[in-house]
Structure 1
Amino acid sequence: MASRLQMEGDDSVLLHVTHSNFKTFNADVRFSLQMSVEAVKDKLWKKCGTAVDSMSLELYDDAGSRLALLSDNSAPFGFYSPLNGYRLHIVDLDPSSITSGGWLDDTSLVQKYEISEEDYEKRQGTFRKFKEKLPHQNPTSTSAKVPHNYMENLCTNIKVGDRCQVQPGDKRGVVKYVGQAENLGPGFWVGIQYDEPLGKHDGMVRGTRYFDCPQLHGGIVRPDKVQVGDFPERDLFEEDEI
């Protein structure tokens, strides 16, 4: 049974992926229709941590109706007739999986190290001590010297929804915010949702929400670090195809 995409000559499909153990996990991932179901699971394992042997895949159409359970690991993915915009749902069958319990999804469940204010003040070389010395060592470095419209001109060609690449590290993602962020400093900033968990937050910074994205996929940088263009999602864990 060939999918409509195959009959039209397209050999890949872009699906929305969700996970049974992650409330915030959602990603748009492109799959080759020639891949086996097992290869699809292997690709998803590298993104979510659910082992291939413990993974069950369900295919839903764009109306939310379940179309198929991908039960044959040897079958080509195109056998199940996925179309662009359909949802592929990962069910983790292992009760002891690293994805269970919600601690990867909800960082409030993770016990955090805390230090008393008194002990922190006794430490040398802390960021607080650095900030206290900075105005005396380099007065021109204070935020008061940064104009209100700093780097506004660089935002002219950066729009929400643009694919982009961010330096340093050639990190790829989607522009989610362009504008000022006074609690970060004067001037203009660009909010990014990275394709991989290479960020520091979920779009909320210092108590202000600038955009929404999965936890650890968000970053806010200056516009000069952002290049927009044709930067498709790439799997950092996969080897280049031959």
Structure 2
Amino acid sequence: MAGMVNNQDMLALKSYITASDANQYSGLHKDTIMIDVTHSNLVQRHIELRFDLHETVEALKHKIHRKTGTPPDYQKLYIKSGGVVIGEIGSDESKMLGFYSIQSGMEVHCVDLNPHSASANGGYEDVSKVQKYKMSDEDYDKKKGTLRDWAKHQKAADPKFSLQKHAKEHQALVEANRIYKTTGQAPPGFSFVNGKLTADKKEEENTPPPGADSVEGITVGLRCEVQPGERRGVVMYVGEIEEIAGGGHWVGVKFDEPVGLTGGTVKGKQIFDAGGDRMGGFIRGKNVKVGDFPERDIFDELDDSDEDEL
């Protein structure tokens, strides 16, 4: 049957994977070798580069230059086998590789002699040393065609619009389309408008924004757990925030982990210091529970998960 894997296939795969190293290069021409190239300043290892035994040391050095960035004049080359240095490639660049009896599976290790080499101390590989571009909120606000710009226009057309609400509605629509494709029926709350599956419009309720009673018992300094996601943190602010449309009372939380949507600011105004981007959030009181919610220990969580997962 097509697609079936028989024992013959598995045996062939096992034979390929466990093939003897002695036969690994048996298909190469007698003058061709495959060697690894390593570098004193780099973690990266160049695996099984192909060379001809008639190539010169000069050609080898130029290839290493292209791979590592170290010019030929600053290269000191050693031959290794099994991780042990067994020889040194001399300064005569006219000699051929065959002169040094290099064989497939060996390694040529390049020591960079340049004291000012750009590759030193992780210069080529340590991405933490790369200066990253960071745009200020002011500059981002001025840009057109961004998510924030789009949300601003949506907000102008619908004062109750929010990205969270939009994401929730979009997720519901995707799920509704999936159900329709599976069952051929529009799920409850959805119908076809001009041939397109659309969420039914709900009559807007004239309910007032959450008042002081919605945050009763929640005070600054208390530990808390926020839904959704059981995110933990500490209460940093309780009250109204005029910069947030919709009014009502909010709870400002500084999270233990970067699981929030803000750093404690709203439209450029600092309400509280969350200690970093995505470390804070403003949540309605109904989604905040105060009490004994200490910061989680990742090792405790791993122990718990072992008991609950087979």
TM band (smaller chain): 0.3 to 0.5
Structure number with the higher strand fraction is: 1
Q: Which has the larger radius of gyration?
A: 2
Task: Name which structure has the greater RCO, CA cutoff 8 Å, separation 6+.
Answer: 1
TM-score (norm 2): 0.37
